[in-house]
Structure 1
């Protein structure tokens, strides 16, 4: 019934055993607990928004609030889609897609997190394949961008493996320190030319007006 009024709840993207979909409110506590148990190794810096530095209970709360705000603040001109990452039906992380003025710019940005116990096994690559399929095959994006700290090579490696090319750097402040991020860009042409795993996507058509598309 909820998908009748908010069709994004009916969107499903599957790559192998990894499925992306919006978590329900009943599933959010499980997802929040994954974040509370740990998203990055001690001392690591992963996100410019330092939510992973929060105490476990506050990390869990941040995940829930982020899901709610993504729904509540959504407009066709400015949207954030925080898809839950499910492995064998269990939520283990979030893969996001966001854009501003997408109908005109056709550019999306991605970000993601996985529980520590689920990292390093190829799930990060599979979930990015899935969300890029949504962006390029489903929404006809022309570009996908992302960024990672230069001293955090794992996500940069995933991006380059998926065809992204360097797109300059940004310098920001995190806890009073200067941090440098490598920006990366994937064009539709490069995405289309690369070998990709099979992706199954259902439930997109009724969602298109929410993305500013017809």
Structure 2
């Protein structure tokens, strides 16, 4: 699509492909959401979308992507990739930025279908968008965060070199719960072998990164 080059943007790793979803991809991603993304009784998200009924989770997943596409601007964007492993959509990885042309800071968020967890996919898909951020967009900082009891997310951050960046309290289902903030600088990033970015150049102005990333 000539007027929306993001549909050509992909990041590939030795195992995974991250791409802006087609409508068929969104349908499959919605199926993953309906199947479940965490165990009952545990809530890893600030907004508890995953507690909805399966059909509502599926519709909400599609609507959320449509909303992010419609609201995209260089000043505030959220790039939502589907994560594909072996030809199957297994989850979603987000890379977002606000006033990126000035801050050169990105944030990440993700979820993975429950039956695909525990295979190292979460680490590899986060590393993929960090490769895009640092090596493609010229980011200087990447941030993440997770509830203190979300040990899997925290382990991924630690494995990729993030450092603790303080705590914050959030309302989770009516209770104040501590969130750990984490931060990774460009100096602390080393690109893994076999990671590649495809179709980025025409997208750079949409990210507010039209200038030379090294500048």
Secondary structure at the aligned position of 1:47 is classed as coil
State the partner residue of 2:12: 14
Render the CA deviation track for 1:94-114: whole Å, top value 9, x for unaligned. Answer: 000111000000000000000
State the partner residue of 1:79: 77
C-alpha distance in 2 between matches for 1:72 and 1:23: 14
State the partner residue of 2:205: 209
Shift in Å at residue 197 of structure 1?
3.4
Q: Retained in 1: the 8 A contact 2:25–2:82?
A: no
State the partner residue of 2:39: 41
Q: Within the alignment, does 1:59 sit opposite 2:60 as a pair?
A: no
Q: Within the alignment, does 1:89 sit opposite 2:84 as a pair?
A: no
Aligned residues: 210
C-alpha distance in 2 between matches for 1:187 and 1:27: 32
C-alpha distance in 2 between matches for 1:109 and 1:63: 20
State the partner residue of 2:179: 181
Render the CA deviation track for 1:36-83: whole Å, top value 9, x for unaligned. Answer: 000000111111111111111111111101111111000000000010
> TM-score if structure 1 supplies the norm length?
0.96
C-alpha distance in 2 between matches for 1:175 and 1:163: 31
Secondary structure at the aligned position of 1:185 is classed as strand
After TM superposition, the structure 1 = structure 2 runs for residues 12-161 of structure 1, keeping only pairs within 5 Å, are: 12-161=10-159
Render the CA deviation track for 1:135-157: whole Å, top value 9, x for unaligned. Answer: 00000000000001101111101
Cα RMSD (Å) = 1.0
Secondary structure at the aligned position of 2:101 is classed as helix
State the partner residue of 1:200: 196
C-alpha distance in 2 between matches for 1:27 and 1:202: 18
Shift in Å at residue 198 of structure 1?
2.1
Secondary structure at the aligned position of 2:69 is classed as helix
> TM-score if structure 2 supplies the norm length?
0.95
C-alpha distance in 2 between matches for 1:148 and 1:213: 27
C-alpha distance in 1 between matches for 2:185 and 2:60: 32
Q: 5+ unaligned residues in a row in structure 2: which ranges?
A: 211-215
